[in-house]
Structure 1
Amino acid sequence: MIALIQRVRRAQVDIQEQTVARIDAGLLVLVCAEHGDTAVQAERLLDKLLALRIFSDADGKMNLNLLQTGGQLLLVSQFTLAADTRKGNRPGFSRAAPPAVSQPLFDELVARARQRLPDTQCGLFGADMQMSLINDGPVTIPLHIPPDGVAS
């Protein structure tokens, strides 16, 4: 799975001018399932998201994780994270898992996140969404959990 993690002061997802998800301080995470991904990658991604120490402690050092700060989590499915731009000017998305695979994985990630962080918010899979956010820092971190499970 591919994720783009953004530490935010607030973020929101709108669909047809209706707000469907909103968080205050926490993490906005864009998520893409790739071919070969399973629930194992979803669980490893969630573990990493909740443990990643990217929030400032009392000394201003990135030393706290989402749970320690009481922050919120917003998950948004985004297949374009798998874009291949090596050739030409039109990105290819063949690395992204098809919706029949990626939607259940995204739903699994959201369900597991809500077990550990009940107020987890999410966008609507496959919808045309508009997102607004205030990135805090700014802190934006790419994360890749390949099918072999080793994060990079």
Structure 2
Amino acid sequence: MMTIQDVADLIGVGWDTIKSIFKRYLVHRFSKPKLGELKYIAIDKISVRKGQKSLTLVMDFENDAVVFVGEGQSRETLLPFRERLKKTRAKIPAVAKDMNAGYISAVMENLPNTAVVFDRFHVVKLMNEKITQIRRQLFRELTSPLERKAVKGT
């Protein structure tokens, strides 16, 4: 294992030359992953540059490989992936994803017989928001200070 600078020093070329060669290798090796073997995929979004830009990632759930990256977080972001997936005739039994409406409609439209599994973080977040809403409504309806004290912070 060597750093880019170590390789450049060993061969006697500039750091930028080794970086360029390595970048071309990575593009060649990972730009078009084979999708025919896909079974379980995960779809999620990430923010880049402190929330200024969003990327959609599609990952092979079995080997943790990223198989698609698209700019944005809408239904249309997944269209290029859908086209590539159609050509492979891969059978996807399940998709894990967050509760983004665009992702939900894209999966339901393009993979109608696929099970959708929502990630735990978003399910728990939605449940906690609903419980908080119910608790606040109950708190407003109570009149006794003792009852209000019992409900507050639960």
Q: Same fold (TM over 0.5)?
A: no
Structure whose residues are more often helix by fraction: 2
Structure whose residues are more often strand by fraction: 1
Normalised TM-score (structure 2)? 0.32
Normalised TM-score (structure 1)? 0.32
